[in-house]
Amino acid sequence: MPNHDVELLAVGAGPSNLALAVALEELAPQLARDSLIIERDSDVSWQRGMLLPEALSQVSFLKDLVTLRNPRSKFSFLNYLHDTGRLNEFVNMGSFVPYRVELAGYLRWTAEQLSMVDLQLGRECVDISPIWTDDVLTGWATKTADGRVIRSRYLVVGVGRDARIPQPLQGVAQQRVIHSTQYLQRIAQLRNGLPYRVTVVGAGQSAAELFSAVQNDLPECRPTLVTRSIGLNCYETSKFNNELYFPSFVDEFYIARPEARRQMLTEMRHTNYAGLAPSTMDSLYRQMYLDRLSGRDRLRMITMHDITAARDDGDEIVLELTDRRTGAVQQLRTDLVLLGTGFSELMPRMVRRLAGSLGLSDITVTRDYRLAIDRPSTAACYLQGVNEATHGIADSLLSVLAPRANDILQDILRHQDAAELATPDPTQVSASIAG
């Protein structure tokens, strides 16, 4: 098949690029018809590894793909509920936060509603290279797993961060290590009647959900939660804290000095990381209480311990746990390790490789999420969801999807206009030569 050339290519069909697709269709239809989104999976989803039946989103349904930019949009979550016949029931439930599986359904529905932006599933990006013309960056060549190359002038990378695997666990048999991003797919492949010894690593919402879910999915298992923290904590939430997730706070954060940014991120950490929703905390404590009450002693929690080493021993993993209080070391033998350890703070490998091909020593973006390139360029690349250090803690969440998509689109349109002004009109050039 011939290579497919487009004006704009977006890599990844997650919430970020779907929000961009919606903005394109509503605000720039001409560009939308010359845009393509590629997605490596065979369907559109969101947090597919953790679509647990009763798991709730932590974000209001009003922070969907479009409402904060265009409350009248047909792509809103409320219109999705209306279209699927569940609007009355959702209103009656009296909740601002939908179930996680419901948000995943909304994203699939949105992808199906797109009429101008081309969305191609089952196409994995394996490499991105800059295109140079006379030492000027003029575009991007994106190679997919099927061997095809897609050339574009604009590139938007929205693949999310890489899963964080603790270093001691990177050298053991990976068939016995499951990160939360793969939980549902991989746990379904195990025989659920065996008495697995399961170790859950982490102290946040994902770890707590894994700890609870595995008790149902592997009913004979004996789970142990291992955390470096002194105990589990709820998210720090208040109306004042939530204002720090307003789209308008991005401007305030971006212009702040580096030391102020670091302070804000540190102080806001427990509003999103290393914390549990109050309902999850209550449920988890009741599980532990009832386990003790029944005398089963099936559930265990080990706090203030680091995993300092790990090795395979036959069909099990031996974890070395070091007590942060005393330095004492113990071994924990386990059949399965579940990781609620979140994501790497580094830029995704795809972005780092791209930066290397551009000769960039630092990866930075403008206020409008455009990758800073210190060489002449008529092309541009934008990074979505990986700019927490410069745009604030909400950058990797759903809170700023709609306004961020608008920021990127408006910057692209300004970039196009500037390029057109810089390009001489051939008719005027001809007239000048003739004169």
* Domain limits, the chain: 4-162+344-426, 167-235+272-339
pLDDT for the residue numbered 432:
38
Burial of 320 (0-12, 13-18, 19+ CB in 10 A): middle
Instruction: State which H helix or E strand residue 88 sits in.
Output: helix 87-93
What is the rounded CA–CA span in Å between residue 235 and residue 137?
Answer: 44
Note the pLDDT of residue 420. 75
pLDDT tens column, 335-376: 999 999 999 999 999 999 999 999 999 999 999 999 999 999
Query: If we measure between CA atoms, which residue out of 411, 396, 404, 356 comes closest to residue 129?
Result: 356
Compute CA 213 distance to the chain's CA centroid, rounded to the nearest angstrom: 21
Which residue shows structure tokens 């099927």?
A: 146
pLDDT for 4 equals: 57
Q: What is the pLDDT of residue 409?
A: 98
Question: What is the end-to-end Cα distance of the chain in Å, rounded?
Answer: 46
pLDDT digits (tens, 9 = 90+) for 286-344: 999 999 999 999 999 999 999 999 999 999 999 999 999 999 999 999 999 999 999 99
Report which DSSP code applies to 47: S
Q: Which of 341, 304, 343 is nearest to 205 (CA)?
A: 341
Does the pLDDT of residue 235 top 80, yes or no? yes
Q: Distance (Å, rounded) from C-alpha 291 to C-alpha 304?
A: 22
CA distance 4 to 140: 12
pLDDT, tens digit, for every residue of 2-11?
A: 445 999 999 9
Residue 1 has pLDDT above 60, yes or no: no
Residues linked to residue 119 through DSSP beta bridges, in sequence order: 37
Closest Cα to residue 284, out of 214, 331, 217? 214
pLDDT for residue 59: 92
**Residue 182 near residue 49, CB atoms below 8 Å:** yes
Which CATH number is associated with domain 167-235+272-339? 3.50.50.60
pLDDT of residue 419: 78
- Give the pLDDT confidence score for residue 434 in this predicted structure: 41
**Residue 431: its pLDDT value, please?**
43
**Integer Cα distance of 158 and 12 in angstroms:** 5
Segment 186-198 shows an average pLDDT of 96
The rounded mean pLDDT for the chain is 94
Decide if 371 contacts 380 (C-beta within 8 A).
yes
| Strands of 305-313's sheet in order across | 305-313, 316-323, 329-334
Q: Strands 149-157 and 136-144, how do they pair? A: antiparallel
| Alpha carbon 46 to chain centroid, angstroms | 9
**What CA–CA distance (Å, rounded) separates 309 from 307?**
6
Domain 4-162+344-426 and domain 167-235+272-339 have a common topology: yes
User: Token pair for residue 344?
Assistant: 């790497």
CA-CA distance, 396 to 386, in Å (whole number)? Answer: 6
How far does CA 315 lie from the centroid of its chain? 33
Tell whether the model's pLDDT for residue 246 goes beyond 90: yes
Query: Phi/psi at 218 (nearest 5 deg)?
Result: -125, 75
**What SS3 class is residue 224?**
strand
Q: How far apart are CA 153 and CA 10, in angstroms?
A: 11
**Contact (CB, 8 A) for 254 and 247:** no
Give the mean model confidence (pLDDT) for residues 399-417: 97
Q: What is the pLDDT of residues 419-433, one digit of tens each?
A: 777 655 545 544 434
Residues 6+ apart with CB under 8 A from 93: none
Which superfamily, per CATH, for 4-162+344-426? FAD/NAD(P)-binding domain (3.50.50.60)
